[in-house]
Chains A and B, each alone.
Chain A
Amino acid sequence: MKLFLYSIAIPLGVMVSPETLVLLGNSAGYNGMIFYVSVATAAAVSCMCAYCIFYPGRQADEENEVSLLAKAMGRFPAAALVLSARLSVTLLVATSVLVTAGFAFNEIFLYWFPNFGFAFLLLGFILAFNIIDKSWASSFQLLLLTCTLASFSVLLCAGLSSSPSTNTAIQASELTSPAAASGALLLFLGFDLILNSQVKNKLLPAVAAICTIFTLFTLWGAVSRAYVPSSSLIESTLPHLKAARAIMGQNGRLLMGVIVICGATAAVNGLFLYLGQTACALAEQGVIPRFKGEKTLHRLASILMSVTIGILMMSGLAGEDKLTIYYRGALVLWLVVLTFRCFTSACFSSSSKSFSAVALTIGTIIGLLSIVLVAAAEHTREQLIFCLHVYVCALLLMLIWPGTVKLFSAINR
Chain B
Amino acid sequence: MKKLVLLFAFMIPLGAANVWSDDLIMDKDALNAMLAAPDLVILDVRTGKDWSSSEFKIKSAERAPAAEYADWSASYSKDKTLVLYCA
Contact = CB atoms under 8 A, between A and B. Distances in A.
A360 B52 CA distance: 38
A63 interface: no
Contacts of A318: 48-50
A104 B46 CA distance: 16
Contact of B50 (A22, A319, A322): A319
B54 A323 contact: no
Interface stretch (A95-103, A142-150, A179-187, A297-305): A95-103
B55 A320 contact: no
B53 interface: yes
A347 interface: no
B56 A99 contact: no
B52 A237 contact: yes
Max chain A C-beta neighbours (<10 A), residue from B47, B49, B51: B49
Interface in B44-80: 46-56, 65
A323 B53 contact: no
Contact of A241 (B49, B50, B55): B55
Q: SS class of chain A's interface: helix, strand, loop or mixed?
A: helix
A321 interface: yes
What is the interface residue range for chain A against chain B?
10 to 19
B49 A107 contact: no
Nearest to A313: B49
Contacts of A321: 47-48, 65
Contacts of A319: 46-50
B47 A107 contact: no
Contacts of A399: none
Nearest to A98: B49
A322 B48 CA distance: 7
B56 to A, nearest CB: 6
B56 A323 contact: no
Interface in B3-19: none
Contact of B48 (A238, A241, A320): A320
A231 B50 CA distance: 23
B50 A237 contact: no
A322 B53 CA distance: 15
Contacts of A107: 54-56
Nearest to A253: B55
Contacts of A322: 48
Contacts of A22: 52
B51 to A, nearest CB: 7
Interface string A315-328: 00111111110000
Interface string A14-37: 000000001000000000000000
A229 B47 CA distance: 25
Contacts of B65: 321
A100 B55 contact: no
Contacts of A100: 49, 53
Contacts of B55: 103, 107-108, 238, 241
Contacts of B52: 22, 237-238, 324
9 contacts: A96-B49, A104-B53, A108-B55, A237-B51, A237-B53, A238-B52, A238-B53, A319-B49, A324-B52
Interface of A: 22, 96, 99-100, 103-104, 107-108, 237-238, 241, 317-324
Given A100-B53, A317-B48, A319-B47, 11 more contacts: A99-B49, A99-B53, A103-B53, A104-B53, A107-B55, A318-B48, A318-B50, A319-B48, A319-B49, A322-B48, A323-B48
Closest 3 pairs (CB-CB, A-B): A237-B52, A103-B53, A318-B49
